[in-house]
Amino acid sequence: MNQLVFFASDIVAACLLVFGLYFPRHRRRDLVVSYLAVNIGVLAVAEALGNMSGGAGVGMGLGLFGVLSIIRLRSTQLDHHEVAYYFCALALGLLGALGGSVVWISPALMVMILFVMFLADHPKLFHGHQRQLVVLDVALSDHFALVSRLEEVLHAKVHAVSVQKVDLVNDMTWVDVRYEPNPVTVPDEVPDDVPSLGFDTGRVRTKS
């Protein structure tokens, strides 16, 4: 009976993770299939190995999915947040299969995983901070000159810079930059000598 509760908890938690958190935020349909398949696969195989040979089977299952996770992560390029969802799907499946003598522990750990992912991947958390790979048409080795050029090009406050490559022959610089865009200021009034170009500026003019 307890195992049915663990299975049901895993299915509900996996659906919340994929359809409640990941897909509404990131919209990658292919990874929806991957996360659900990994979760159910881990749940089924870990449960089978656990019943087959007790603790040894569980250890074998953990080792097996450790190897499979390495193969999966090396098979295609994933962003870091996608890797996090991938391991959460693994963890939920293992919690559903391993269970325990106390019924509430595994569901509580599943809730904790979902809660952490809800907060850590929330769109409003550090939403102004961005990362970009930038190629500059000038070779810059001076850090301060590089930061100044990036802030001019990106119209942003640069927080961290990692130079990937400096090409002195072709006069180019490859940079991994972390930045925060400057707020866009919109003037309250548009000067009368600026043509409207057919767009509604939002002002109402009255004839004198």
Confidence of residue 127 (pLDDT cuts 50, 70, 90): confident
Reduced to 3 states (helix: H, G, I; strand: E, B; else coil), residue 163 is strand
Average pLDDT over residues 176-197: 64
Average pLDDT over residues 53-66: 61
For 69-85, how does the pLDDT look when each residue is reduced to its tens digit (9 = 90+)? 665 666 567 778 888 99
207, pLDDT greater than 50: no
Q: Which segments of the chain are extended strands (E)?
A: 130-136, 156-167, 172-181
Structural domain spans, the chain: 2-120, 130-181
Round to whole Å and give the CA distance between 158 and 177: 7
Average pLDDT over residues 42-69: 68
CA terminus-to-terminus distance, the chain: 83
Q: Tell which wins on pLDDT, 79 or 111.
A: 111
pLDDT at 120: 92
